[in-house]
Amino acid sequence: MYSRQTQRVTLGGFGGGPVPRDLLLLLGVVFATFSLQFFDATAIVPALLRLTRLAWQRGFIWQIATYPFIGYGGPSIWFLLELLILFWFGRDVYAGMGRKHFWRLILTASIAAGILAVIVNFLATLAGGLVGPVPFGLMQGQRMLAAILVAAFATANRHATILLFFVLPIEARWFLGIEILFAFIGFLGSHDLAGFLGICAAVGVTYAYIRYGAGRRGLREIRLRLQRWWIARKLDREKRKRHLRVIPGDRDRRKGPWVN
């Protein structure tokens, strides 16, 4: 089980080490597809891959799987901040879960959220309910990815303390509710019911995947990997703080420098 000792960390960049290639690929795809929308010759590509009403109106069902990888929004500093959040949390989640479960989590949570959002939008349209001028806007692209990765970190490291906005110390477990709150505030301004419920579904699926999913053996593997990774990061910080140096024993000398 995870230690109950609270460890304070800043918002993101929690651990060191090399950046996974998969994460760089993910960020590159999101940035590239975001850029395509601003050129007339390529704007059709992100338009066809984002989640829209066409998913149920004309059978563009591939959008349910492609939308989280298509950068969304206008050319503002906030988009870069969203990518930074993806980098911060994505590196830690990837290190704890491994490649297979990292991608499986993203696909499972985003597709489940996309299916629910499409159904909600279809029913709301028939009933003349809340669909908003830009449906699915709250859950497009990097916003969905951020919701999943933040929820994964918060579920796996419940007692870590994150400095929200680099100022407010909050236990990671509360970020599950904070994500829902932020999505609800966005819903109040956009009336995007499908997008709001999509974010809620993604957070719920992510929580269930980390705590109960992937089978008992897979779940134990995920938890142990996350626990080992978190303890290793804490030990590294302590060594740097106290200027400790590890002296290898005879057994380690025989094996050479690459000892696991």
Does 238 fall in a domain? no
Instruction: Give this prediction's pTM.
Output: 0.76
Mean pLDDT value of segment 118-133 = 86
Does 240 fall in a domain? no
Instruction: Provide the domain limits for residue 211.
Output: 15-233
Does 58 fall in a domain? yes
Does 252 fall in a domain? no
pLDDT confidence of residue 3 = 33
Is residue 253 pLDDT above 50, yes or no? no
Does 8 fall in a domain? no
Total domain count, the chain: 1
Does 152 fall in a domain? yes
Reported confidence tier of residue 254, pLDDT bands at 50, 70, 90: very low
Does 251 fall in a domain? no
Does 94 fall in a domain? yes
CATH number of the CATH domain containing 227: 1.20.1540.10
pLDDT digits (tens, 9 = 90+) for 229-251: 667 767 776 666 666 555 555 54
| DSSP string for residues in the chain | ----S-EEEESS--S-SPPPHHHHHHHHHHHHHHHHTTSTTTTHHHHHHS--THHHHS--TTHHHHGGGS--S-SSHHHHHHHHHHHHHHHHHHHHHHHHHHHHHHHHHHHHHHHHHHHHHHHHHHHT----SSTTGGGSTHHHHHHHHHHHHHHHTTTEEEEETTTEEEEGGGHHHHHHHHHHHHHHHH--HHHHHHHHHHHHHHHHHHHT-SHHHHHHHHHHHHHHHHHHHHHHHHHHHHT--PPP-HHHHHH-S---
pLDDT digits (tens, 9 = 90+) for 58-74: 999 999 999 999 999 98
